[in-house]
């Protein structure tokens, strides 16, 4: 029986992970649950699953959780950085980090120190602190298994192969809801239009990132850290059907791909079961399927271009990119800015913030914070609504 901690249990990936684990209940035991502030949902999860530990990042929500819980079997972790603390106290065989955004970095680093398995569904922790996270995993012999569907696909395509013979990796992108919409029309899109992803069912932040294609940009940086390749060997191509989840090319010209349903439960489950594969009842038939591939338009999807530039420049540029994106997306979802302003705000932050190189976690979090404050000052100044 393996123990599992789920950090981000009330989000989209967290809920799908609970779904996967419900089917595999004789092999995995959930020992810890954490989330941001969804008190009622996590309380219901605790009553049902009776884990040893639970916490919420938000202090007020944590206090109401304490008064809400009826079970005496679960301890509420209450301290300064509760989500980071629950990871080390749970010391689970597998820690799934599936919180959204920069908030994932602390729990990911905490899990990297356990010397066990980190199932990582938070790409922002690699974008912000990839060098630090990979180094910490190596020092503690922690297995890092990607949950992001593209990276899970590449991880699978590399199994049993000699990575010295790898030529490049190719990440596929659906192109999101605006693939066949003009740039001008896309820039004026409503929140509902941007949230209407054609293939994948995901949380709000990542769905907007898919619509701007920043999601693919963040995934390029994620792949750079996970697979240790320079940016010239990481390609992003559009594949609207989302059947091929990504592929690799070897030196002899062979392409090896992973195909399957557009269902996040598959890569989540694989991150738990690896190196084994657990059964799933549904599968993909290729009969009658058409598969198209083409190059992304970097003028229209300029966020993808910015991400490549920030990744290549390295140092703290990806932190600025990521923080500006998170702050801009949050404001778009709150209907404070236009869709087209997401790109403009990120570009503005990248040109305003000086080149820097931080080595410590504190310094990285400091940059993240000041970029967010900068974006919020820009937004409050007006002029971003169209
Ligand atoms: Mg992905």
Q: How far is the CA of 241 from the centre of ligand 1 (A)?
A: 14
More confidently predicted of 201 and 319:
319
Q: How far is the CA of 288 from the centre of ligand 1 (A)?
A: 25
Q: Is the confidence at residue 242, as pLDDT, over 90?
A: yes
Q: What percent of the chain has pLDDT over 90?
A: 95
Dump pLDDT digits (tens) for 265-293.
999 999 999 999 999 999 999 999 999 99
Q: What is the pLDDT of residue 258?
A: 98
Average pLDDT, the chain: 96
Q: How far is the CA of 166 from the centre of ligand 1 (A)?
A: 21
Give the C-alpha separation, 153 to 171, whole Å: 9
Q: What is the pLDDT of residue 386?
A: 66
Q: What is the pLDDT of residue 384?
A: 80
Give the C-alpha separation, 360 to 149, whole Å: 29
CA distance to 73, 199, 298, 374, per residue, from 202 (Å):
32, 10, 24, 28
Dump pLDDT digits (tens) for 157-195.
999 999 999 999 999 999 999 999 999 999 999 999 999
Q: How confident is the model at residue 342 (pLDDT cuts 50, 70, 90)?
A: very high
Q: Is the confidence at residue 29, as pLDDT, over 80?
A: yes
Q: What is the pLDDT of residue 385?
A: 73
Q: What is the pLDDT of residue 202?
A: 81
Q: How far is the CA of 218 from the centre of ligand 1 (A)?
A: 9
Q: Which two tokens stand for residue 199?
A: 């293939």
Report yes or no: 9 and 100 within 8 Å, Cβ to Cβ: no
Q: What is the pLDDT of residue 198?
A: 84
Domain regions of the chain by residue span: 2-146, 149-312, 314-386
The CATH architecture assigned to 2-146 reads 3-Layer(aba) Sandwich (3.40)
Q: How far is the CA of 77 from the centre of ligand 1 (A)?
A: 31
Q: How far is the CA of 83 from the centre of ligand 1 (A)?
A: 24
Q: Is the confidence at residue 351, as pLDDT, over 90?
A: yes
Q: What is the pLDDT of residue 382?
A: 78
Question: Among 175, 174, 154, 148, which residue's Cα sits nearest to residue 247?
Answer: 154
Q: What is the pLDDT of residue 197?
A: 86
Q: What is the pLDDT of residue 218?
A: 98
Beta strand pairing call for 2-7 and 28-35: parallel
Domain 314-386 sits in CATH at 1.10.1740.10
Give the C-alpha separation, 23 to 28, whole Å: 10
Q: What is the pLDDT of residue 287?
A: 97
For the chain, the residue count is 386
Q: How far is the CA of 382 from the centre of ligand 1 (A)?
A: 33
Residue found under tokens 């239009």 = 193
């Amino acid at each position: 029986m393996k123990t599992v901690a789920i950090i981000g249990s009330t989000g989209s990936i967290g809920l799908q992970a609970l779904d996967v684990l419900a089917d595999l209940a004789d092999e995995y035991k959930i020992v810890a649950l954490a989330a941001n502030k969804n008190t009622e949902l996590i309380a219901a999860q605790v009553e049902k699953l009776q884990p040893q530990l639970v916490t919420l990042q938000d202090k007020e929500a944590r206090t109401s959780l304490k008064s809400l819980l009826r079970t005496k079997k679960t301890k509420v972790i209450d301290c300064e950085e509760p989500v980071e603390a629950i990871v080390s106290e749970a010391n689970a065989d597998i820690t799934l980090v599936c919180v959204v955004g920069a908030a994932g970095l602390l729990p990911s680093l905490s899990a990297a120190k356990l010397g066990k398995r980190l199932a990582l569904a938070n790409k922002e922790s690699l974008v912000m602190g990839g060098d630090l996270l990979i180094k910490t995993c190596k020092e503690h012999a922690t297995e890092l298994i990607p949950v992001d569907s593209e990276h899970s696909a590449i991880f699978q395509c590399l199994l049993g192969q000699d990575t010295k013979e790898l030529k490049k990796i190719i990440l596929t992108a659906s192109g999101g809801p605006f693939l066949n919409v003009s740039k001008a029309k896309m820039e004026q899109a409503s929140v509902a239009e941007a949230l209407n992803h054609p293939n994948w069912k995901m949380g709000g932040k990542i769905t907007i990132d898919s619509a701007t294609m920043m999601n693919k940009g963040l995934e390029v940086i994620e792949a750079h850290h996970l697979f240790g390749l320079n940016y010239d060997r990481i390609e992003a191509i559009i594949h609207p059907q989302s059947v091929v989840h990504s592929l690799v090319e070897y030196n002899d010209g062979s392409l090896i791909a992973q195909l399957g349903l557009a269902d996040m439960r598959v890569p989540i489950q694989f991150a738990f079961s690896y190196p084994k594969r657990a059964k799933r009842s549904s599968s993909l038939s290729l009969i009658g399927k058409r598969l198209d591939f083409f190059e992304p338009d970097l003028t229209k999807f300029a966020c993808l271009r910015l991400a490549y530039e920030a990744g290549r420049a390295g140092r703290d540029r990806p932190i600025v990119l990521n923080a500006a994106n998170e702050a801009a997306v949050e404001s778009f979802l709150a209907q404070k800015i236009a869709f087209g302003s997401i790109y403009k705000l990120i570009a503005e932050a990248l040109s305003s913030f000086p080149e820097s190189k931080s080595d410590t976690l504190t310094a990285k979090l400091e940059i993240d914070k000041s970029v967010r404050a900068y974006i919020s000052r820009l937004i409050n100044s007006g002029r971003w609504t169209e």
